[in-house]
Amino acid sequence: MCGIVGAVAERNITAVLVEGLKRLEYRGYDSAGVALLNDQGELHRSRRVGKVSELEAALSQEPLAGRLGIAHTRWATHGAPSERNAHPHFSGHDLAVVHNGIIENHEELREQLKSLGYVFSSDTDTEVIVHLLNHTLKIQPDLTAALKEAVKQLHGAYGLAVISAKQPDRLLAARSGSPLVIGLGLGENFLASDQLALRQVTDRFMYLEEGDIAEIQRDSVQIWDAAGQPVVRESVQYHEGAEAADKGEYRHFMLKEIHEQPKVVQRTLEGRLGSDHVLVQAFGPQAAELFGKVRNVQIVACGTSYHAGMVARYWLEGLAGIPCQVEVASEFRYRKVVVQPDTLFVSISQSGETADTLAALRNAKEHAPDKGGYLASLAICNVGISSLVRESDLTLLTQAGPEIGVASTKAFTTQLVALMLLTLSLGQVRGTLDKTLEAELVEELRRLPTRLGEALAMDSVVEKVSELFAEKHHSLFLGRGAQYPVAMEGALKLKEISYIHAEAYPAGELKHGPLALVDSDMPVVTVAPNNELLEKLKSNLQEVRARGGELLVFADEQAGMRNGEGTHVVNMPHIHDALAPILYTIPLQLLSYYVAVLKGTDVDQPRNLAKSVTVE
Ligand code: G6P
Query: pLDDT for 54-64, tens place per residue?
Result: 999 999 999 99
The protein residue with its alpha carbon nearest to ligand 1, atom 9, reads 408
Active site residues: 2, 611
Give pLDDT tens digits for 297-354. Answer: 999 999 999 999 999 999 999 999 999 999 999 999 999 889 999 999 999 999 898 8
The protein residue with its alpha carbon nearest to ligand 1, atom 2, reads 611
474-479 and 524-527 beta bridge pairing: parallel
CA of residue 613 to ligand 1 center, whole Å: 7
Report, as an integer, the average pLDDT of 25-51.
91
Largest CA distance in the chain: 85
Would you say 611 and 494 are in contact if contact means Cβ atoms under 8 Å apart? Answer: no
Give pLDDT tens digits for 551-610. Answer: 999 999 888 888 888 899 999 999 999 999 999 999 999 999 999 999 999 888 888 877
Class of residue 217 by CB neighbours under 10 A (exposed 0-12, middle 13-18, buried 19+): middle
CA of residue 421 to ligand 1 center, whole Å: 22
| Residue 458 to residues 463, 589, 604, Cα–Cα distance (Å) | 9, 12, 22
- pLDDT score for 186: 92
Per DSSP, the residues of 429-491 read HHT-S-HHHHHHHHHHHHHHHHHHHHHHTTHHHHHHHGGGGTT-SEEEEEE-TTHHHHHHHHH
CATH number of the 3-237 domain: 3.60.20.10
- Given a cut of 70, whether residue 13 has pLDDT beyond it is yes
| Domain boundaries along the sequence of the chain | 3-237, 253-599
Averaged pLDDT score across all residues of the chain: 92
Residue (of 498, 490, 493) closest to 469 by Cα position:
498
- pLDDT score for 240: 52
Q: Answer with the residue of higher pLDDT: 403 or 127.
A: 127
Pick the atom of ligand 1 nearest to 302's CA: 6
Distance from first CA to last CA of the chain, Å, rounded?
Answer: 30
- pLDDT score for 31: 93
Count CA atoms closer than 13 A to 227's CA, side-chain side: 3
pLDDT-above-70 percentage for the chain: 98
Ligand 1: which of 415, 612, 616 to mutate, most ligand atoms within 8 Å of CB? 612
- Given a cut of 90, whether residue 538 has pLDDT beyond it is no
Contacts of 61 (CB under 8 A, 6+ apart): none
Class of residue 557 by CB neighbours under 10 A (exposed 0-12, middle 13-18, buried 19+): middle
- pLDDT score for 455: 96
- Given a cut of 90, whether residue 536 has pLDDT beyond it is no
* Distance between CA atoms of residues 458 and 572, nearest Å: 9
Contacts of 419 (CB under 8 A, 6+ apart): 308, 309, 311, 312, 315, 348, 380
Pick the atom of ligand 1 nearest to 351's CA: 14
**Weakest mean pLDDT among 26-35, 107-116, 265-274:** 26-35
* Distance between CA atoms of residues 534 and 612, nearest Å: 37
CA of residue 229 to ligand 1 center, whole Å: 47
Ligand 1: which of 257, 258, 299, 302 to mutate, most ligand atoms within 8 Å of CB? 302
CA of residue 423 to ligand 1 center, whole Å: 23
Within 24-66, residue ranges assigned H as helices are 52-61
Report, as an integer, the average pLDDT of 160-164.
98
The protein residue with its alpha carbon nearest to ligand 1, atom 5, reads 303
Beta strands in 38-77 (DSSP E): 43-49, 68-74
Ligand 1: which of 613, 614, 615 to mutate, most ligand atoms within 8 Å of CB? 613
- Given a cut of 80, whether residue 242 has pLDDT beyond it is no
**Weakest mean pLDDT among 125-129, 132-136, 196-200:** 196-200
Pick the atom of ligand 1 nearest to 609's CA: 8
Pick the atom of ligand 1 nearest to 415's CA: 16
How many other CB atoms are found less than 10 A from the CB of residue 19? 18
* Distance between CA atoms of residues 389 and 391, nearest Å: 5
Ligand 1: which of 254, 299, 304, 347 to mutate, most ligand atoms within 8 Å of CB? 304
Which fold, 253-599?
A: Rossmann fold (3.40.50)
- Given a cut of 70, whether residue 1 has pLDDT beyond it is no
CA of residue 316 to ligand 1 center, whole Å: 23
CA of residue 287 to ligand 1 center, whole Å: 27
- pLDDT score for 244: 54
CA of residue 357 to ligand 1 center, whole Å: 10
Pick the atom of ligand 1 nearest to 496's CA: 8
Would you say 103 and 311 are in contact if contact means Cβ atoms under 8 Å apart? Answer: no
- Given a cut of 90, whether residue 204 has pLDDT beyond it is yes
Pick the atom of ligand 1 nearest to 408's CA: 9
- pLDDT score for 404: 83
As for ligand 1, residues whose beta carbon falls within 6 Å of it are 302-305, 349-351, 354, 357, 406, 408, 609, 611-613
- pLDDT score for 237: 85
Q: What share of the chain is helix, strand, coil (3-state, %, to 5)?
A: 40, 25, 40
Would you say 421 and 448 are in contact if contact means Cβ atoms under 8 Å apart? Answer: no
**Weakest mean pLDDT among 159-173, 310-324, 490-504, 522-536:** 522-536
- Given a cut of 90, whether residue 546 has pLDDT beyond it is no
